[in-house]
Amino acid sequence: MFATCFSLFGPGDRVLIATPARWGIGEGVRLARAMPVPVVGDQEWSLKVGPGDLDPATDLRTRGLILSSPAEATGAVYARSELAALLQWARERDLKVIADESWRMVHFGSGPAPSVLDLPDELLLRVAVIWSTGAVMFGT
């Protein structure tokens, strides 16, 4: 996460973080000399964020969005349509997106959780995907 943040962001940049997020994401942004901006989603929507949550936190210095699905802190999983809406929102604002999919294989649904890589290529031009090879999948 740090190396990706350091490659994409710099001094004075603001990076929106869908929160709650796993420990260390904000620190990685700070070490890249950028400012983490936590954005909490609606409790009725499992604390997931949508474009309406991100708009008020966005200004001219905003350069990126970090999104985790499934979210380590809550287990919330973004649907494919929700991921598409967030990436379209970021694309319209020329923001870079870091998609943390470290827990994609470990969730309570059938098969892996939806991935940003399932979306059309035009939404992925400014997206970096982080996937932990240390994730463990439990089967029956």
The neighbour count for residue 95, using CB atoms within 10 Å, is 19
In tens, the pLDDT along 57-75 reads: 999 999 999 999 888 777 7
Q: Which residues contact 18 (CB under 8 A, 6 or more apart)?
A: 39, 41, 48, 49, 65, 66, 67, 68, 71
pLDDT for 95:
97
Are the CB atoms for 45 and 74 separated by under 8 Å? no
Averaged pLDDT for residues 113-122: 91
> Does the pLDDT of residue 114 top 50, yes or no?
yes
pLDDT above 90: percentage of residues in the chain: 61
Q: What is the model's pTM?
A: 0.88
pLDDT for 62:
98
> Does the pLDDT of residue 139 top 50, yes or no?
no
16 dihedral zone (left: phi>0; alpha: psi -120 to 50; beta): beta
* Structural domains for the chain: 2-130 (3.40.640.10)
